[in-house]
Structure 1
Amino acid sequence: MEGLVNSSGFTTIGTQFRLKKLAFVPTSSVQFTKSLYRNRSHVGIEQHQRSLKTIAASIQPVGAAPSSRSGNMLPSKEVLELWRKADAVCFDVDSTVCLDEGIDELAEFCGAGKAVAEWTSRAMSGSVPFEEALSARLSLFNPSLSQLQDYLEKRPPRISPGIAELVSKLKGNGTTVYLVSGGFRQMIYPVASILGIPLENVFANQLLFGSNGEFVGFDENEPTSRSGGKATAVQQIRKGHNYKVLVMIGDGATDLEARQPGGADLFICYAGVQHREAVAAKADWLAFNFEQLISALN
């Protein structure tokens, strides 16, 4: 795979995409290599869009027994009005747009899945600062550039059932869609491509590698690399575009944090993959499938 060494000495991955500069997105953002899609023996995004739809359709969301505190499964009139008026919707990616936790999958691919998954559970429940959990998880397996490349070639993203239809519906209504994630750009750009979301609408972390492809850390300047970071990203998105109604959809504590003054007006907890009761109980709306959200737009 093509490797570039930027001015800070970190290796980034070559790309077929062109990114617009944003105020809080470093110009050295790690991107995808063209070679992933040139080699017919490898898995490419364009080659697998149809198969991904088949995968998503064949996988049912994880069932979860509604909590006794889940009175928010039936949205109020006010919540429905905000949902229908939204001019921007920000989606979490792991366990929301996608069926998996990206870092857990990469760790499993590198042989450290169980230990990392335990940390992910703690991070999503809000019991430890996100930046602490992110650093701890990565230190357990230190993914190299070659391992990341291999993973991206062999493991296409598994899209949640109904998300493509929901994104299409929102876009058809004139609503701008964003992906705001504590995951990594390298793993999220293919998801954005599949869903037709502009890459400049992706706000996430990025892995950094040395000149020999060794793992050296992650970009701590990304707002999503720390607790409260999704709230910061959402606030900047809203301020930058003067959105009147902005909605955040996700499953974790970091998504819930985005619902605050200057951020999201509405937090919808999607529990179709992971049902985190502490988060669900504080949501404006608790949904177990995306069809519910689509129907509410009709």
Structure 2
Amino acid sequence: MKKPKVTTLIIAISALFASATSIAQEDLKVWTGHSWSTKITDEWRVRAGQLYLFDERLDLSSIQNNARIDYRFNRRFRLGFGYVRSSSPGDPDQQARNRIETRLRLSHRWGKLRIAHTLRPEWHFPERSKFEYRIRYALGLHAGNWGLPLKITPYITNELHYYLDGRPFQYRDSAGDKLVKQSPNGLHAHRIRLGLRFRPFKRASANLSFMRQREFNIGSPYRRLNVTDPRNGEVKRSFNNFSVLSFSFFYRIKVNGSARTASKQNTKTRNL
């Protein structure tokens, strides 16, 4: 690797880290992960990996194992089905959490800018206190190839989360009397992510990013989170606001295509 490439990468990483730490001083978490993918056919791809989640004290709080299969209709549209299992290595008695998701991705180009829309309906089991189902929509803007060293690509992603069917919550009036007991369904979270992607070597890519999550309330007062109990002042279903500095590594495995090539040749022979 040439020295100018190293210098450019160090400057980009330092700038991202400096902006992250200046925004979030106390609630900054660290996530690291690795994954791989391979192409089964021109349309079908499989992907698997692990994500390690560290809390503010840099203690390993959770490990996520994930797998997904994608179908590529064309260059713009993909459909995928995935499974994620989360466990806590520090507490083996804690019940593992599972997630099944569908991922629809539509992308297009506007000059050198690539725009991606991603919709991800998720089913979490066992259910979480705030939701059992979560619908995530993300709008991503990727700078494209500008001839930077290591093919560095900056990007920004905005994501909204809609919560459904969490554990019923007892809402009360200002005097503490019961009003209605129901799940806090609604649009409740926003994530913004700033990141850099680069390629350290062929068929491999790395991702360094900073993400900030904020939860909020919109709409009915009887679908809210972060509710203060008028009887004792205790906050119920408090907001989960945090920041994450993450690094991930991704590798594409190239499957030997001789079998597929032979199959195509045999098909052509039979059609003669």
Q: TM-score, normalised by structure 2?
A: 0.29
Structure with larger Rg: 2
Whose strand proportion is higher, 1 or 2? 2
Q: Which of 1 and 2 has higher RCO (CA within 8 Å, sep 6+)?
A: 1
Whose helix proportion is higher, 1 or 2? 1
